[in-house]
Amino acid sequence: MRTFSKFIVSLFLLMGCSFVQAGDELVSPKTAYSLIADKKAVIIDVREDDEWNEGHIADAVHIPLNQLDAHLSELQQYKDTAVITQCRSGGRSLKALEVLKSAGFSKVSSMDGGIVAWSKDGLATQQK
C-alpha cells in the first residue's frame, strides 16, 4: 500500500508541475482586453466558422484550429508580437498555443476560459 501512496503523490506532483507551466501561459480575459486595447497583442480565434459568426472579439484574426498549420505563413507578421490564442472555453486555444510555439512564435499565451469567460466578464463581442 505504501508504494501505491507514493505513486499517487508522485502523480499529483507531476500534475501540479504541468499546471504551473500551463498557468504561466494563460492570460485572463480582462488582461487580454487591456493588451488588445493598447495594441500590445493580437487575438487569434481558433473556433469554427459557425462559432465565430455567433460573436467574436473585435479585430481578432479568425483561423479555425484545424486550418492553423496551413495559415502559419499569414501569421508570420506576428511572430515577435504578443499573440493570444482564444477559443470557446480554452481547450483548443492551448492546442493552438503549442502549434504556434512549435512554429517559432515567442510570445504566445492562451486566454483562460475562452470567449465564454470573456462574455462572463462583460466584455463586448461583435457579430459578422
Per-residue pLDDT tens digits for 90-113: 999 999 999 999 999 989 999 999
Asked if residue 100 belongs to a domain, the reply is yes
Q: Total structural domains in the chain? A: 1
Domain hosting residue 62, numbered range: 26-120
Residue 35, domain CATH: 3.40.250.10
64's grid cell:
479555425
What does the angle CA 107 – CA 127 – CA 86 come to, to the nearest 5 degrees?
Answer: 25
In a domain, 13, yes or no: no
What average pLDDT is seen over the chain? 85
Q: Report if residue 106 sits inside a domain.
A: yes
Predicted model pTM: 0.81
Active site residues: 87
| Residue given cell 459557425 in the structure block | 50
Instruction: Judge whether 126 and 58 are in contact, CB under 8 Å.
Output: yes
C-beta of residue 55 within 8 angstroms of C-beta of residue 115: yes
User: Does some domain include residue 84?
Assistant: yes
Task: Please indicate, yes or no, if residue 11 is contained in any of the structural domains.
Answer: no
With respect to residue 57, please indicate whether it lies within any of the assigned structural domains: yes
